[in-house]
Structure 1
Amino acid sequence: MKYLCLVYSDEKLLHSLPESPKDPECFAYAAAVQQSGRMLAAEALQPVASATTVRVRAGKTLLTDGPFAETKEQLAGFYLVEARDLNEAILLAAGIPAARVGSVEVRPVRELDV
């Protein structure tokens, strides 16, 4: 089953705390998951200030600079993984280095027949 691991952190703190992960550790983790055959995709995101939120209301497209909602933590990136079950997906999420300074939301992917 596919699971999306959404990595959230406070952008201002992500790289400044003593326990903050450094790029080589993140690359090594991603490489290990890739080598295990469970990695489907992974990407880090640009800072939240580069986001544009799109809404359609009454047939009109509305654009807002920035993220959808004001929150303490912002979406920093994601891993799309293949796991036997939720427990295995949680184990993978717990290994994501950024989980030490933020959080990782694990969600099953709903397969669409398209």
Structure 2
Amino acid sequence: MLYAILAYHVEDELLAWTPQEDAAVVAKVIEVQAPLRASGHLGPAARLDGTRKARTLRGPGGGIVLDGPFAETKEQLLGFHLVEYDTDEEAIAAARKLRAVNPSAVYEIRPVKLYVPADGFGATAADK
């Protein structure tokens, strides 16, 4: 089963980090990712750019493009990890490892259903 581990953070707090503080957290996250990737459990991971650069497409027809995410929340989605495990508990354990090195972040773990079978990570024998 594929799981998305969604990383949320109070964006203003993250933006207040010095470049050295930010680099230290990123380095620790990369250390946690290494064994997950080596074991074949970690797929794509990405850090999203600031919400001020985000755009939202919504509405009927061709839709309308709005600035930024449209949510009344203090925490913003700032990145994700795509992992593959047999159980929810294993995915939660991976999220706990990530949170151990970035304790001010919040991690949401959600099963992922593929719209289109993949040729790589997450593909099953039936998909190929």
TM-score normalized with structure 1 length = 0.85
Contact 1:7 1:105 in 2 (8 A): yes
Distance, in Å, in 2 between the alignment partners of 1:102 and 1:113 is 31
**From 34, 45, 50, the counterpart of 1:47:** 50
Point out 4+ residue stretches in structure 1 off by more than 4 angstroms. Answer: none
Is it true that 1:12 corresponds to 2:12 in the alignment? Answer: yes
Partner of 2:31: 28
Higher helix residue share: 2
Partner of 1:3: 3
Higher strand residue share: 1
Question: Aligned-residue CA RMSD in angstroms?
Answer: 2.3
Contact 1:7 1:99 in 2 (8 A): no
Distance, in Å, in 1 between the alignment partners of 2:116 and 2:59 is 25
Q: Where does structure 1 lack aligned partners over 5 or more consecutive residues?
A: none
Q: Deviations along 1:27-69, whole A, 9 cap, x unmatched?
A: 1112221112101110111111110001132x14111111131
Say which one has the larger Rg: 2
Q: Name the structure, 1 or 2, with higher relative contact order (CA <8 Å, separation 6+).
A: 1
Is it true that 1:86 corresponds to 2:78 in the alignment? Answer: no
Contact 1:73 1:102 in 2 (8 A): no
Tell me the SS of whatever aligns to 1:106. Answer: strand
Distance, in Å, in 2 between the alignment partners of 1:111 and 1:79 is 15
Aligned length: 112
Distance, in Å, in 1 between the alignment partners of 2:52 and 2:88 is 32
Distance, in Å, in 1 between the alignment partners of 2:98 and 2:34 is 12
Deviation (angstroms), 1:71? 1.1
Deviation (angstroms), 1:13? 1.4
Deviation (angstroms), 1:99? 5.0
